[in-house]
Amino acid sequence: MSRTAAPATMAATPKDYKSDIKPVWCPGCGDFAVLNAITKALAFLELPREAVAMITGIGCSSRIAAYTSVYGFHGVHGRALALAAGLKAARPELTVLAAGGDGDGLSIGGNHFIHACRRNMDLTYIIMDNEVYGMTKGQASPTTAPDWADGKLTPRGTGIRPFQPAGLALAAGASFIARGFTGDPNGLAKILVEAIRHPGFAFVHALSPCPTFRPEQMEWKRQVRGFDIEPTDDPVEAARRIQADDGMSIGVVYRNAYPVFRPGGAGGESGGESGGVRGGGSMAAIERELRL
């Protein structure tokens, strides 16, 4: 993929973190704003592009890795977090972002999601949630309301209650939980800065409308509001806030200093610098140990 060169002596701008590949998303897709928010956050943090990796699964939103100029890997369906965890284990000095959609992350990838939450490696995971499978032309996903009857496979709705991603992350042990909205790209960028700085697994639930298959989501801009509270470190209080909410409040809801899991460490440690894997983290050492 072609990369745009950043000036060597000037501070990087959000544009420097974009590749020159033109996104193929539909006009008005929320994922454009997620791309802008990610590149803004990386520029604000002044992270060198070679120190960042973006790992994605499959789906419209998972194309995002190709649109950035950091290291990227467009993986297989639902496996972004498995790949991201492996990369972080092998290259603990990298800032590793994983991203994808609600179908990718909460259906086939659901098992990886809950275990990534409880494992608490130092990763940032962004789910771009539009409550639909967009790439395959509009089927119900794990976050679709039970009475949504416009999906070709579910003309009477699914009749199944949706996942509440923030509540799921809290129950599974995530140490940072936030919700952002693509109609507020600057707010989303601020959340991403906090998420990337957080030592541990940071989950960012990004409400990202699909105007093609869920045009009614264009109303979200009138429904979204900020959490008018500070983040809590009390999981009981966080659970109360998440359950009392209609899913339209945005901001950081929960942050805790759980031990960060570092493969090769003695059961994890809290905060601080990233540790290494056995054998010092070099690929040669890992290959020797695994006899590859």
Residue nearest to Mg ion (CB): 101
Nearer to ligand SF4, 35 or 174 (CB): 35
Residue 106 Cβ vs ligand SF4, minimum distance, rounded to whole Å: 15
- Judged by CB under 6 A, the stretch of 44-52, 71-79, 130-138, 149-157 that binds ligand SF4 is 130-138
CB of 23 to ligand SF4, least distance (A): 8
In angstroms, the Cα distances linking 165 to 42, 57, 128, 159, 262 are: 25, 17, 11, 18, 25
Q: How many angstroms separate the CA atoms of 231 and 72, rounded?
A: 31
User: Closest Cα to residue 153, out of 135, 141, 140?
Assistant: 140
Beta carbon of residue 110, minimum distance to ligand SF4 (angstroms, whole number): 19
- Applying CB under 6 A, which of residues 107, 139, 164, 212 lies at the interface with ligand SF4? 212
The site partner of 250 among ligand SF4, Mg ion, none (C-beta below 5 to 8 Å per kind) is: none
Q: Which partner in Mg ion, ligand SF4, none is near 102 (CB below 5 to 8 A by kind)?
A: Mg ion
Contact 150, 215 (CB under 8 A): no
Q: What angle do CA 210, 247, 144 make, to 5 degrees?
A: 45
Helix (H) or strand (E) holding 187: helix 185-197
Q: Is 104 in the site for ligand SF4 (CB under 6 A)?
A: no
CA distances from 291 to 1, 82, 85, 86 (A): 32, 21, 21, 17
Residues found near Mg ion in the complex (CB under 5 A): 101-103, 130
Using CB distances below 5 to 8 A depending on partner kind, what does residue 165 bind out of Mg ion, ligand SF4, none? none
Coil vs helix vs strand at 111? helix
Residue 212 partner contact from Mg ion, ligand SF4, none using kind-dependent CB cut-offs of 5 to 8 Å: ligand SF4
CA-to-CA distance for 11 and 95, rounded, in angstroms?
A: 19
Residues that bind ligand SF4 (CB under 6 A): 25-26, 29, 31, 60, 130, 134-135, 210-213
